[in-house]
Amino acid sequence: MPSVVMLRPELSVIIPAYNEAHRIGPTLHAVTTWLAENRVDAEVLVVDDGSSDSTVQVARAHPGVTVIETSPNRGKGHAVRTGMIAARGDVRLFMDADNATPVSELPKLREHLSGGADIAIGSRRAPGARTLAPAPLYRRMWSRVANAVIRGSLTPGILDTQCGFKLFDAEAAIAVFSLTVTDGWSFDLEVLGRARRMGYRIDEVPVTWTDDPRSKISPLRDAIRVTREFLRIRRLLGAQQPAGAR
């Protein structure tokens, strides 16, 4: 019998999810509707990170969505890494389950990949970014302080490392995520730090962002956790020197 050739989709959209039963349905509807209306050849992957609610059932009920279940809960970094490596798309986007940055912002990032970037990251702080509903003041202050410390050490020149809307070409995605080991919230720092040291070009792109008041971020708890992860990532990458941009 002739072998079956699996065609690669143009795009993979990876959505990490942990106990997102109340938000994942509207997000998947928005994503799949936009992709269909714009005739984008894409696969949508929801990577469930050991949810204890009905996230998996809600996602599986949505047509055209593939669900990857992982257990136990290990963190957003593990879920995104799993999705990036399992994906088949020529370009691979990960976005948050709360749809804070809508998939309609994707063309802005794709334009930068077409212009020679290997990775294009959405930014809430780059000139031209729009915030439709800001986060509470205490979260904004915590984010700015944490980002300032991180930027100077691991990702100089990048204004917003943590926006959950990042696009990779397939080669960069596989090369970078196959090396990352950070499972928690700070995984973006290791991804961007490794990508820089591997010589990949990273473009920061202003996007539209809306805060979801149901955010799971806790400044005190997460400040301690992020500090530990940051120090660990700095040790991991400390011996590596940045390569020249590709």
Q: Has residue 244 been placed in a domain?
A: no
Would 78 be classed as within a structural domain? yes
Catalytic residue among 188, 203, 211, 212: 188
Q: Name which residue leads in pLDDT, 136 or 153.
A: 153
Give the residue numbers spanning the domain of 48.
11-238
Task: Express as a percent the part of the chain with pLDDT over 90.
Answer: 66
> Where residue 105 sits, what CATH number does that domain have?
3.90.550.10
pLDDT tens digit sequence for 95-139 = 999 999 999 999 999 999 999 999 999 999 899 999 876 555 545
DSSP conformational letter for 5 = P
Tokens representing residue 223 in the block: 């400040």
Distance CA 232, CA 245 (A): 25
Tokens of 173: 């995605």
Residue 69: CA atoms inside 13 Å, Cβ hemisphere, count?
Answer: 12
pLDDT of res. 96: 96
Q: Is residue 243 one of the residues assigned to a domain? A: no
Judge whether 212 lies within some domain.
yes
Does 4 map to a domain?
no
pLDDT tens for 20-59 read 999 999 999 999 999 999 999 999 999 999 999 999 999 9
| The two three-digit tokens of residue 22, written as one number | 């109340």
pLDDT of residue 245: 43
Does 148 score more than 90 pLDDT? Answer: no
Is the pLDDT score of 151 beyond 70? no
> Is residue 6 assigned to a domain?
no
In a domain, 182, yes or no: yes
- Active site annotation includes 98: no
State yes or no: pLDDT of 15 exceeds 70: yes
Residue 12: partners with Cβ closer than 8 Å, 6 or more residues away: 42, 43, 44, 45, 83, 87, 88, 89, 91, 92, 93
Buried-state track 42-72, b at ≥16 Cβ within 10 A, e below 16: bbbbbbbbbbeeebbebbeebeebebbebee
Cα(115)–Cα(110) distance, rounded to whole angstroms?
A: 9
Number of structural domains in the chain: 1
